[in-house]
């Protein structure tokens, strides 16, 4: 994603090829996963949605940009101010939303405006994006019209199902609103026409149904949601599919809603190509969380010395729970075996587990059944466990070029210091190269990473006491 893409040219070339491309085997394409050695962005996003128990409290301001200064912009402090259908409002409260989150305060009035306004919203997982666009989807439905009016695209089967479950929960008191999944395994007989109001699905299946089999008309849609946009454009083939679907919408009458968790410029370039004259809402990055986290590095010569450092720290500091990040699954497995043999309650989370297995591991960790969670980058984003007091980088995060991956570092150590509490991040450095990575991270965030001697129990006790 580092290479600059000319999205306008890309779309133009894609549209020229649309008529020549056979739309088929979408189920098979969507079942294929990325190399499990790499963090799968779709799986990480799904885990964040499922595991999170409540909204993230973000103290940063909302950043709003308007391409059209004539577009009115409002903010609300209560759901009542939105003049929702009473049964929808009842569903919102049933879900435990007592007051709008920061992103919802500004996004919902724009989403529900009349005439409809196009929107690009970017904020971290857990800030209420899904609930915001699901509420907009449900509000746009005219139940007297028996055809699909709203389409929500997700990058994977699991994420589509998760969105559908949120929609079903919110529409609990609106049984007249009908929804259908357009995902792998769902079959619609040819020469039929869908009567459900909302379609939630994956790009390949939606293309099959709408363009190949014509069981519903994309031009009749009044609202189009592209969810997990950052994941969508990072997954092979999904950009093409989204462009084909977008090409068949009636841009003059269809409200475009684009949601993403990242600030990557390519995501914005792609979004602004699809969403015309949007209001852009961003929840500013929560980097001040670093102020709650004391950062240290430990000099080691080899993996065994790294292991000794971990056991010295764990044996001295009064730790609630700890997360240890490794670069590879092989290292994670080796470390888990050694810690288990030494009597530590350890869980391992890596890319070779299914989503269901990962959820089970995380649930056990949240419940305190294991005190140490060893993982790869699959857990670097979006998962909050309140009891985590220490994060250890067994291997410092690096990018494909071997340079410091500062964004991943921020996400990793951000697993501690949550909810306004203090946390500890310890980086194990075993070479001059990794020392260079550590220094680069220190310079990037302009935060001192202090040397820690793990052979000195008094020094370790000091960090445990907050000194």
Which tens digits make up the pLDDT trace of 235-257?
Answer: 767 888 998 999 999 989 999 99
Which residue matches tokens 């699954």?
329
**Six token digits for residue 196:** 């459900």
Residue 437 scores a pLDDT above 90: yes
**Six token digits for residue 183:** 């995902």
Across the range 370-383, mean pLDDT stands at 72
7-283 homologous superfamily: P-loop containing nucleotide triphosphate hydrolases (3.40.50.300)
For 287-464, CATH gives 3.40.50.300
Across the range 138-158, mean pLDDT stands at 94
pTM for the predicted model, two decimal places: 0.65
Span of 243-252, 326-335, 344-353 with lowest mean pLDDT: 344-353
Q: What is the DSSP letter of 460?
A: H
The confidence band for 269, taking pLDDT boundaries of 50, 70 and 90, is: confident
Strand ordering across the sheet containing 223-226: 62-66, 279-283, 119-122, 255-260, 223-226, 150-153, 198-201, 179-182
Looking at per-residue confidence, does 383 or 200 come out higher? 200
CA atoms of 440 and 297, how far apart (whole Å): 13
Contact 169, 131 (CB under 8 A): no
Beta-strand pair 62-66/119-122:
unpaired
Contact 282, 247 (CB under 8 A): no
Beta-strand pair 423-429/450-451:
unpaired
Could you list the beta-strand ranges (E) of 363-449. Answer: 372-375, 388-393, 423-429
Residue 383 scores a pLDDT above 80: no
Dump pLDDT digits (tens) for 283-313: 655 444 567 788 999 999 999 999 999 888 8
Span of 61-75, 108-122, 127-141, 194-208 with lowest mean pLDDT: 61-75
CA atoms of 52 and 421, how far apart (whole Å): 18
> Residue 54's CB: how many other CB atoms inside 10 A?
8
Give every CB contact of residue 125 below 8 A, 6+ residues apart in sequence: 45, 48, 49, 52, 56, 261, 381, 382
Residue limits of CATH 3.40.50.300 in the chain: 7-283, 287-464
Q: Is the dihedral of CA 353, 359, 364, 366 positive or negative?
A: positive
Span of 37-41, 193-197, 260-264 with lowest mean pLDDT: 37-41
Say what percent of the chain tops pLDDT 90: 38
- How far CA 45 is from CA of 57, 227, 229, 387, 452, in Å, comes to 18, 11, 11, 21, 34
Q: What is the DSSP letter of 87?
A: H
Mean pLDDT score across all residues of the chain = 80
Q: Which residues are bridge partners to 226 per DSSP?
A: 153, 258
Q: By C-alpha distance, which of 283, 269, 266 is closest to 55?
A: 283
The confidence band for 48, taking pLDDT boundaries of 50, 70 and 90, is: low
Per-range mean pLDDT, top range of 11-20, 101-110, 337-346? 337-346
pLDDT at 121: 87
Integer-rounded Cα radius of gyration of the chain: 24
Ramachandran area for residue 322 (φ above 0: left; ψ -120 to 50: alpha; else beta): beta
Exposure of 151 by Cβ count < 10 A (0-12 exposed, 13-18 middle, 19+ buried)? buried
């Amino acid at each position: 994603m580092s290479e600059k893409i000319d999205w306008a040219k890309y779309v133009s070339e894609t549209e020229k090829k649309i008529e020549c491309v056979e739309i088929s085997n979408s189920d098979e394409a969507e079942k294929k996963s990325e190399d499990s050695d790499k963090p799968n962005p779709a799986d990480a996003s799904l885990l964040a949605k499922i595991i999170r128990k409540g909204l993230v409290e973000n103290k940063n301001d909302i950043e709003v940009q308007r391409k059209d200064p004539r577009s009115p912009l409002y903010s609300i402090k209560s759901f009542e101010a939105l003049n929702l259908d009473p049964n929808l409002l009842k569903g919102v409260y049933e879900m435990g939303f007592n007051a709008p989150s920061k992103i919802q305060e500004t996004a919902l009035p724009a989403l529900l405006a009349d005439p409809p306004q196009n929107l690009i919203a970017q904020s971290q997982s857990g800030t209420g994006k899904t609930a915001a666009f699901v509420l907009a989807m449900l509000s746009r439905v005219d139940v007297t019209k028996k055809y699909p009016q709203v389409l929500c695209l997700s990058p994977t089967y699991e994420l589509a199902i998760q969105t559908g479950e949120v929609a079903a929960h919110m529409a609990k008191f609106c049984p007249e609103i009908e929804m259908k999944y357009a995902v792998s395994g769902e079959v619609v007989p040819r020469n039929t026409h869908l009567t459900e109001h909302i379609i939630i699905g994956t790009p390949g299946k939606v293309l099959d149904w709408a363009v190949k089999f014509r069981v519903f008309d994309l031009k009749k849609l009044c609202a189009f949601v592209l969810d997990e946009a950052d994941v969508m454009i990072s997954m092979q083939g999904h950009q093409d599919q989204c462009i084909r679907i977008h090409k068949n919408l009636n841009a003059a009458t269809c409200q475009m809603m684009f949601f993403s968790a990242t600030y990557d410029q390519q995501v914005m370039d792609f979004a602004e190509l699809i969403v015309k004259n949007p209001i852009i809402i961003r929840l500013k990055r929560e980097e001040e969380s670093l102020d709650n986290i004391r950062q240290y590095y430990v000099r080691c010569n080899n993996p065994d010395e790294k292991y000794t450092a971990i056991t010295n720290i764990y044996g001295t500091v009064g730790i609630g729970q700890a997360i240890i990040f490794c670069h590879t699954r092989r290292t994670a497995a080796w470390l888990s075996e050694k810690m288990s043999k030494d009597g530590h309650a350890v869980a391992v989370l890596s890319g070779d587990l299914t989503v269901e297995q990962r959820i089970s591991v995380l649930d056990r960790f949240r419940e305190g059944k294991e005190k140490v969670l060893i993982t790869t980058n699959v857990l670097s984003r979006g998962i909050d466990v309140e009891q985590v007091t220490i994060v250890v980088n067994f291997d410092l995060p690096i990018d494909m070029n071997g340079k410091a991956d500062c964004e991943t570092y921020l996400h990793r150590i951000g697993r501690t210091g949550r909810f306004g509490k203090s946390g500890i991040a310890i980086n194990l450095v075993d070479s001059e190269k990794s020392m260079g990575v550590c220094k680069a991270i220190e310079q990037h965030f302009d935060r001192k990473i202090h040397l820690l001697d793990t052979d000195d129990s008094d020094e370790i006790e000091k960090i445990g006491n907050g000194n």
